[in-house]
Chain A
């Protein structure tokens, strides 16, 4: 009884069977495929296409740099790219959840730097590493709680809230660290798991991306996150606790930021630096999310896209360095990439509307 038509459920990009085709006027020759995707899978299809297009950019850039500089395609260099990408990708996964629910976190780069010092503080008090790790992540979660309470509880825009906590957390970090880097813990099994193995950092990033992708696309939390950002009034009329969802995303973003900070310190620099991460990392993560196809307005986004966005930025930066092009040019390219991504986003959704109207 329930079996009919179910086969069509599997594929989001399959051409529609039922609706009248849009007029020739609205559907240009080149836009045919896009319009079809818009008709059936709509933004789910568009997001898949977006992930694919960013992946193509990654491959194209890699080929270009590999051809123009043999040093690019070495295992050693891959490790450099991986370590640049990993932290941004982990943080971007948290930012995607927040952006989709209609908020953002500017303070996460500072939480990234603070959390390792909480870890050290707990270890100085005699806590075993694993306990200290949880204390540190709880400290990061507290930043998320503050961001969430001020934003959803007191009604301050998250841009302002997290701008405030950005400075606040940075100040706290400088105070508890005495403004000097400290050596990161390097002994013990958990430390090895977190960052001791050569590819540990990027593996963590991949695991987190897979988990957060599953959360966003396959769980109630993710569905309610999309609902909260897409239609807050409708979501609460349906009984969804949108404040609770935003709160949870603020905490997730901060905890992921803190975790990334600990892994980076152990894995890359073997020291914890109070000036690590910061705003550049935070903006890189948000840029990765946007390049990957997450709408700043909320309601749609992809964790995998954000990961690929982070890889694009990592490859670009590394490739430019190898070519001897200055970091200044990298920033120019980064700026163009962000704006081009946003233009693509808005134009695609406009095209979608027109195809529908036509």
Chain B
């Protein structure tokens, strides 16, 4: 830099961080000012360099000051500041009540903590019998796995159920899984093994991950709840960060969350694991810890601030793994019932679930199974709104399969139900009228009947408009659509051009 040359030989007195900080303190606090340290530029205030420890302290002080100014600005912007956690002694003495009884396992990466439970079957969880997962569910599993299914008949005898607890965030390299909850059936099938791997501190992560990989050896299926979006990518990221390799080729992965949404959203609404436990498994958690608290519980544990809270997290994770197994079992049962076609009487709830199954099957191109499930479900739905929504869907599916008569019957049932329907109707509910008219006109060539169907729709609309959840505008659209259809049908019946 030529500018420097101009001033060559003139010593710049730019000091070290420590000196800068010292001067900063000297001008702000007289107590700390060394005599003669005024801005005379004479001798530096301290003859010998200060010891490293005080350098550090000074840098810390400077950072605190800078941050305070920055924080003041931030406070003016009303950004909430995360609460400052007081740091206690980081001394970690294992053996204090913090975790349930377990063992320290060691591998070539070092130690980590493992809580292992081996339970002889049967194991009852709520109303669910977890051992039932070992029955032949190859058909159901093949269906659920779709293209990811292995060639030979899959089973759950060598599946690993997985759920992790993490330090928060939904991704990014700064998030870690500190607890890996695992379950599998022991070879021979007589026992259920639960294993919770815990890193008691961050340096145990590689060992914990290595144990996890060892547990996966011999497994042929991974079952998780939201694991495709969350647990597995996070673990894959942690493996890379710790220079460990994920199993190759990748294990087939059954994520039960999207399955649960298909099967139970209609009936239950929310499909978080805890929301399914009570209705499906009759399990009620007591004293469970809310998920959002878990990262801080772990941080407190690691820092030695509070080592007691982690026990609850292990409990929470254990319930998550068991519920995952229970919900998986429920899903397989529900599908199994549809596949077997067993004609057992259905209550309203089961009928709704079966309707969901029917829709799932239809979406996955299993029309025969879907039609059978629709029929059974609709038969038991009675006067539920889903009834003729299902009829319309079934009718459309039947049409696609070439069963015109069946479709017509479905649509007729639907239109019939419209008249008798006690509750408010929506515009979508009336689509069944159009479907019936179309099938009568085009497939059966019964133009007058088609016109009659439309007329009945108009009548129902007029009768029920007051009770309908239909806006004036929507009703007008509906009416003009039908008027137009009616006009066209009349023209057609009279053999003249309608246009």
Tell whether A pairs with B. no
